[in-house]
Amino acid sequence: MSSARAGLKDKKRIVVKIGSSSLVHEETGRLNIMRLERLVRVLVDIKNEGRDVCLVSSGAVAIGKASIGLYREKIHEADSLPLKQACASIGQAKLVMMYQKLFAEYNTGMGQVLLTRVTLDNEYTRKNAYNTFEELFKLGVVPVVNENDSISTEEIEQVQTFGDNDRLSAIVAELTGADLLVLLSDIDGMYTDDPKNNPDAELISEITDISDKLVHMAKGTHKGGVGRGGMSAKLTAAEIALGAGADMLILNGNDPYNIKLALEGESVGTLFTNNG
């Protein structure tokens, strides 16, 4: 076990991001309730160990579209953005209701935090956001974060500040002073090549230098399904997290228990660290 892996046991504030592809059934866009329940159980157990836990959750648009029967329908381009924003509003309510129910089953409170680019660009509102997170942690409540897609277009259109929830989660880790960011993905971690196209691609256990070669390789990776963030977005998140002094893990979100394994020092996923 490397010293960086061993050091994960001592992390005190952890931001976990789960993507749409890990939250919903791909064929229907409806919630994968069993996976969601396992995720909440793991997060509460980590919190019960004495750590602060924050969850950045995707899925609002996909769940909203599924709930009104539009998940597989082609949307006219002229109407796509307003419709996606409406779907985000519908889906976010359903998602938070489910999180509230599941966290309550484990006697844990959760608080919704919706962020926009304006919030974090302005010094005054950024400080207010920071204070909100700090108070939630003091109260023993798990913040559940998403971009406010119903009024903010950046995350939906993949332009400007956040672009996707990988980057948003890194910014939240930076804002809250987290010492670990965990990205739950639909693959096991960072590979030497795209494993969906190259069966000989090998999983990289630890990365201490985000080289130009790595960035170029990530740009060529495939991203499909319901999620928006590919491996390139995850490298951007890693740069933000490492720049803020946090380590970052990419883990397979199909089994949220991978988070516990990583915190126990097991060599799962890919660890980005300044302490290699």
pLDDT of residue 150: 57
d(CA 50, CA 57): 22
DSSP labels for 33-83?
HHHHHHHHHHHHHHHHTT-EEEEEE--HHHHHHHHTT-TTSPPPHHHHHHH
pLDDT of residue 34: 95
pLDDT of residue 113: 95
d(CA 115, CA 146): 6
In the chain, the number of structural domains is 1
pLDDT of residue 163: 58
Judged against a pLDDT cut of 60, whether residue 236 lies above it is answered with yes
d(CA 246, CA 40): 23
For the chain, what percent of residues have pLDDT higher than 90? 55
Residues 148 and 154: beta-carbon distance below 8 Å: no
pLDDT of residue 223: 52
- pLDDT tens readout for residues 171-205: 999 999 999 999 998 889 988 877 778 888 889 99
pLDDT of residue 156: 44
Mean pLDDT of the chain: 86
Tell me the mean pLDDT in the region 263-270. 93
Judged against a pLDDT cut of 60, whether residue 152 lies above it is answered with no
pLDDT confidence bin for 158, thresholds 50/70/90: very low
Between residues 8 and 79, which one has the greater pLDDT?
8
Judged against a pLDDT cut of 90, whether residue 107 lies above it is answered with yes
Nearest to 233 by CA among 68, 56, 47, 86: 56
pLDDT of residue 56: 97
Judged against a pLDDT cut of 60, whether residue 9 lies above it is answered with yes
pLDDT of residue 227: 44
Tokens of 90: 């519908």
Q: Residue 117: give its domain's CATH number.
A: 3.40.1160.10
Q: What's the full length of the chain, in residues? A: 276
Cβ atoms within 10 Å, residue 218: 20
Range of the domain at 36: 3-272
Q: Using alpha carbons, list the distances in angstroms from residue 143 to 47, 169, 236.
A: 12, 12, 23
